[in-house]
């Protein structure tokens, strides 16, 4: 979610000028939002509207969606901002759970967003002070930053922004991509920055094919954790239903 802020800001001018008019197609559904009928939005709605505005190829059918939040007859960046505000105001129904994740190319983020939507949990995005460029993750180049970091277990990339408080949370879902069979070193930075000795940590990851086991062992050995539940590896194409089934299996 945090990541979307600069996107909204920078995309604002671009998107408002080229916004696709949805008035004709979606007039009926948008009557709800225009008439201020209480419409509830999810993180998935936010993603769908953003993808629509960026004209990303998608086979999703958005007809019937109430995305014209300001009732001006079109879907544009202003609606995206309003939706984001509404989501931020949404009461936390996830209770004592937070989904924390690092994602460089969006695969883990997609799974995290499904998880946030399903559980109603709060979320926190781990971002590096020095963001990872495309060159930084060019794993075919043995000298790229990601490879060098993964080759040195003592590296701790600095996390951007203020530390958050985890006091209110008992359960932490921790998501990351697999880099060379392990968790990225910035996950180690995160783990060493907080006290998990009385928390339940549930790792999840995405990868091309590698499993989650090595990273689970690394995490367990790195810091004291109250209880670490078995983690789950997802493919980049995993569906929301897959994530839902997993959360249900956790009880």
Q: How far is the CB of 144 from ligand FMN (least distance, A)?
A: 7
Q: Of 94 and 184, which has the nearer Cβ to ligand FMN?
A: 184
- Listed in sequence order, the residues at least 6 apart from 122 whose beta carbon sits closer than 8 Å to its beta carbon are 92, 94, 97, 98, 99, 116, 169
Q: Of 33 and 50, which has the nearer Cβ to ligand FMN?
A: 50
Q: How far is the CB of 16 from ligand FMN (least distance, A)?
A: 29
Q: List the one residue out of 208, 215, 216 whose CA is nearest residue 235.
A: 208
Q: How far is the CB of 177 from ligand FMN (least distance, A)?
A: 3
Q: Do residues 16 and 76 touch, judged by C-beta distance below 8 A?
A: yes
Q: Of 104 and 232, which has the nearer Cβ to ligand FMN?
A: 104
Q: How far is the CB of 2 from ligand FMN (least distance, A)?
A: 15
Q: How far is the CB of 129 from ligand FMN (least distance, A)?
A: 17
Pairwise CA distance, residues 148 & 111, whole Å: 27
Q: List the one residue out of 229, 249, 245, 7 whose CA is nearest residue 106.
A: 7
Structure tokens at 194: 């907080």
- Listed in sequence order, the residues at least 6 apart from 198 whose beta carbon sits closer than 8 Å to its beta carbon are 170, 226
Pairwise CA distance, residues 207 & 139, whole Å: 13
Q: How far is the CB of 96 from ligand FMN (least distance, A)?
A: 25
Q: Of 97 and 103, which has the nearer Cβ to ligand FMN?
A: 103
Pairwise CA distance, residues 11 & 218, whole Å: 39
Give the DSSP H/E element, type plus range, for residue 199.
strand 196-206
Q: Do residues 129 and 153 touch, judged by C-beta distance below 8 A?
A: no
- Residue 227 neighbours by CB distance under 10 Å: 12
Per the listing, tokens 């949404």 go with: 90
Contact residues: ligand FMN, CB under 6 A: 103-109, 137, 139, 146, 177-181, 206-210, 236
Q: Of 30 and 113, which has the nearer Cβ to ligand FMN?
A: 113
Q: How far is the CB of 208 from ligand FMN (least distance, A)?
A: 4
Q: Of 86 and 148, which has the nearer Cβ to ligand FMN?
A: 148
Q: Of 31 and 54, which has the nearer Cβ to ligand FMN?
A: 54
């Amino acid at each position: 979610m945090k990541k979307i802020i600069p996107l909204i800001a920078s995309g604002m001018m671009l998107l408002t000028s080229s916004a696709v008019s949805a008035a004709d197609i979606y007039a009926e559904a948008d009557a709800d939002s225009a008439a201020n009928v209480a419409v509830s939005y999810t993180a998935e709605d936010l993603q769908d509207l953003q993808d629509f505005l960026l004209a990303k190829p998608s086979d999703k059918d958005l007809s019937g969606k109430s995305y014209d939040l300001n009732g001006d007859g079109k879907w544009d960046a202003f609606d995206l901002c309003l939706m984001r505000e509404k989501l931020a105001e949404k009461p936390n129904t996830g209770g004592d759970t937070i989904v924390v994740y690092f994602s460089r190319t969006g695969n883990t983020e997609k799974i995290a967003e499904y998880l946030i939507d399903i559980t109603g949990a709060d979320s926190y995005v781990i971002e590096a002070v020095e963001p990872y460029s495309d060159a930084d993750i060019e794993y075919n180049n043995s000298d790229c930053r990601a490879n060098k970091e993964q080759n040195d277990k003592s590296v701790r990339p600095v996390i951007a922004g203020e530390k958050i408080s985890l006091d209110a949370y008992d359960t932490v879902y921790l998501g990351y991509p697999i880099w060379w069979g392990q968790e990225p070193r910035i996950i180690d930075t995160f783990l060493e920055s907080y006290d998990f000795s009385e928390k339940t940590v549930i790792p999840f990851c995405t990868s091309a094919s590698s499993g989650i086991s090595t990273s689970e062992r690394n995490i367990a050995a790195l810091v004291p954790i109250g209880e670490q539940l078995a983690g789950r590896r997802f493919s980049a194409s995993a569906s929301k239903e897959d994530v839902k089934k997993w959360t249900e299996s956790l009880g």
